[in-house]
Structures are given as C-alpha cells and as structure tokens.
Chain A
Amino acid sequence: SQQGEEDPQALSIQEGENATMNCSYKTSINNLQWYRQNSGRGLVHLILIRSNEREKHSGRLRVTLDTSKKSSSLLITASRAADTASYFCATERNTGGFKTIFGAGTRLFVKA
C-alpha cells in the first residue's frame, strides 16, 4: 500500500516559473521526506521535515507540512531545465520497525 499520494501526477512549466507539488498521506508519521529521481537512476534525498515542524527551506526548495490535514507541499522556485525529474514524497512510520513508504511521484518537466 502506498502511504503518500502526490498531486499532480505530471507538471510541465517554463524555465523560471515556480513548481508546486503536493503530497497527502493517511496515517500518523515521524517525518516526511522529499526525493528526486532522474530517469533510470536512484533517488536523491532533497529535504526532511519532522512531524513537529511546519516549514523548511533548502536553497530553492520550500517544504510545508500540515499534520492536521495530513498533507505536505514542495515548492521549487525559479525552476531550471535541470530540475526536470520525478519527485516523490516519503513518510516514515514507526510500526515496530521504521518503515519509509513512498508515493507514486510527480513528473516535472521544465521547458527551456
């Protein structure tokens, strides 16, 4: 079962525009993470936000977390063609062992 669901499934924007991706999840979490995957490659960790945090920044990335709505958003500002990739949210649950579950991802295409 997938814990997180990203929205939209795909997003196409012009270089320089902002890209916003959303993630909803179902059960209580320890933390929520965002990852990036270039086609055919492994995933790269972008940012982690803990359940007691509401917002976090890293360079051009801004992540928010609303635990009351069980949702998170990833904002990429001033996008570049090199940002073209799939972006996944992942939630960590403590179920007698720590388990990190991924959503289906948002495919972002940034046109130069």
Chain B
Amino acid sequence: DGGITQSPKYLFRKEGQNVTLSCEQNLNHDAMYWYRQDPGQGLRLIYYSQIVNDFQKGDIAEGYSVSREKKESFPLTVTSAQKNPTAFYLCASSVNTGELFFGEGSRLTVL
C-alpha cells in the first residue's frame, strides 16, 4: 500500500547527541514536509522540500537539518543545537499543493 513511513516511532536521546528521524514515501509525491508538535499544540513547520535536492526553512528550522537526495526520502536530523528537542515529529508529503499525507509520527524524548 502507498503511504508514508516514519521511523523510529519512539526515540530517546541524551543531551548533546544528534539524532536522525527517517521519513520515506512511496506516493511519488514531489513535496515533503517536517512538522513539530508539542503537547496540546498545533503543528509548526520545520523544513519543507518541493523537489529533489532543494529544501527551504520553515518557521522553526534552527537546530535542525534535512536532506533531499531522493524523491522518496526526507530525513530530519535533530542536532545538539536544538535546545528543547523533546516533541512529536510529523512528516508529510503532497503533490506540491493541496492535501498533505502524514506519517504516524516519531516521538523524541531527551533524557
């Protein structure tokens, strides 16, 4: 079945460590997105990419990095520069405009 797969579902990180969250889609979508969600809050855009080898910063890009080397993949690295990384991370894709298709999310906890 087509969809978006995020892994891992749960991740624990020690302070000072970088971690990478995986996002893979087989929907043949051009655009992909990373959002962060804090408890009881809405989604805030971290990075988005509309085409392979190109991506733009969202509203809260500081402390995060991404790459888009393949159409299917848009990994997010949470670096040690991100001061408060504990959150629920959601990846999405779309056919450039319109409906977003979401993965099931990755919950990152800093110990």
Chain A positions within 8 Å of B, measured between CB atoms, are 1-2, 4, 30-31, 33, 35, 40-45, 48, 88, 90, 92, 97-105, 107
Contacts and interface: CB of A to CB of B under 8 A. Distances in A.
Q: Is the interface of B mostly helix, strand, loop or mixed?
A: strand
B53 interface: no
Contacts of A107: 40
A101 B43 CA distance: 8
B45 interface: yes
Contacts of B41: 104-105
B50 to A, nearest CB: 6
Dominant SS among interface residues on chain A: strand
Interface residues of B, number: 30
B2 interface: no
A100 B100 contact: yes
B64 interface: no
Contacts of B94: 100
